[in-house]
Amino acid sequence: MANSMARSFLQVAATEEVASPLRVVQIEGLVILKIIKHCKEFSPALVTGQLLGLDVGSVLEVTNCFPFPIREEDEEIEADGANYQLEMMRCLREVNVDNNTVGWYQSTILGSYQTVELIETFMNYQENIRRCVCIIYDPSRSNQGVLALKALKLSDSFMELYRANSFTGEKLREKNLSWVDIFEEIPIKVANSALISAFMTELESDTPVTQCDYDRLQLSTTPYMERNMEFLIECMDDLSMEQQKFQFYYRSLSRQQAQQQAWLQKRRSENMARKAVGEEPLPEEDPSNPIFKPIPEPSRLESFLITNQIANYCNQINGVAGQSFNRLYLMKSLHDK
């Protein structure tokens, strides 16, 4: 009886574990300040760091983080970076701080983070962590008056295809996967302890605002828009090159099909002649013939990532343009008055 109850409890626990999708990433305010400080100090260089916390039901709690040292592409330095990570987590464990890895954070420039390297990092984390997220922070976007902070994870259907390394048109249609289904953005919730909230409340009454932030009213957005347009044009060129690969593939496929049809017609005419003289017909399929060798279809992963990046640049340009119009209308109203 006890064994059956234990088995049923384990079955229920396993079922709940599988059935609870990630809904919210809850980040403490101090962690967000650490991420922003680290990314802005080294901007425009790209930096990364470790996220620590707890996985509780459908909420991923991020309670601490620490930066990774900036390293170059060298095996010995990479090994030093791994040792640094383990040593940091050991020290945090000794002082009774959450040391469970729940993902990582990284900075980006103008939202250009959708790369194969990001996907490979996700897959490496997924081998050891059931659920993990990547916090993306964009200092250049934040300078426009927006907190450019987002939490991303890979979709389950995309991870299945990536493990199988099959991004053909047939597999994508079978999974009903499009370029917008690669990443899933998880809502971020900022949470602070009651002690910190009470302390901030006391600070607000003692420190009145003595100066205004006029940077938000800056009318010139030319440098930001220009760089977005430059990156967008580069992505369009890359997408055009990817499309040329598929055009070449389809031309080769149609050429091969025409050669196969011509060979089949020739073989059928030969078989008709052989039947007329009472000989055995030859097989109509010849795997050793080069024209029957299948042509591998190019992977659509790069084109999906580039399309995602183009959509991201377009959204950023649209958002900045909308803010610029609002500022212009505001300044026009102030000027008229």
For 266-281, the pLDDT digits (tens) are 888 888 888 888 788 8
Task: Say how far apart CA 150 and CA 110 lie, in whole Å.
Answer: 13
What sign results for the dihedral spanned by CA atoms 65, 70, 74, 80? negative
Q: Look at residue 220 in the predicted model and tell me its pLDDT.
A: 59
Q: What is the pLDDT of residue 58?
A: 86
Residue 215's pLDDT is what? Answer: 55
Q: Both tokens of residue 219?
A: 């009318």
3-class DSSP state of 139: helix
* CA angle, 323 then 329 then 331, to 5°: 100
Predicted TM-score (pTM) of this structure = 0.72
CA distance 39 to 330: 32
pLDDT of the residue at 210:
53
Calpha distance 294→50 (Å, rounded): 45
Residue in the structure block whose two tokens are 């592409």:
73
Segments of the chain scoring below 70 in pLDDT: 1-19, 71-82, 145, 203-222, 287, 325-327, 329-331, 334-335, 337
What phi, psi does 44 have (nearest 5°)?
-90, 5
Q: Could you report the per-residue pLDDT of 135-185, keeping only the tens digit for each?
A: 999 988 877 767 889 999 988 888 888 888 878 878 888 878 888 888 889
Model pLDDT, residue 312: 87
Q: Would strands 133-137 and 149-154 be described as parallel, antiparallel, or unpaired? A: antiparallel
Looking at residue 25, what is its pLDDT? 92
Q: What is the DSSP string of 268-287?
A: HHHHHHHHHTTPPPPPS--T
Q: Which tokens belong to 258?
A: 């025409």
Q: How far apart are CA 252 and CA 256, in angstroms?
A: 6
Output the pLDDT for position 73.
55
CATH code of the domain made up of 18-216: 3.40.140.10
Give the span between the Cα atoms of 109 and 172, in whole angstroms: 30
**pLDDT of 205:** 57
Question: What pLDDT does 62 receive?
Answer: 92
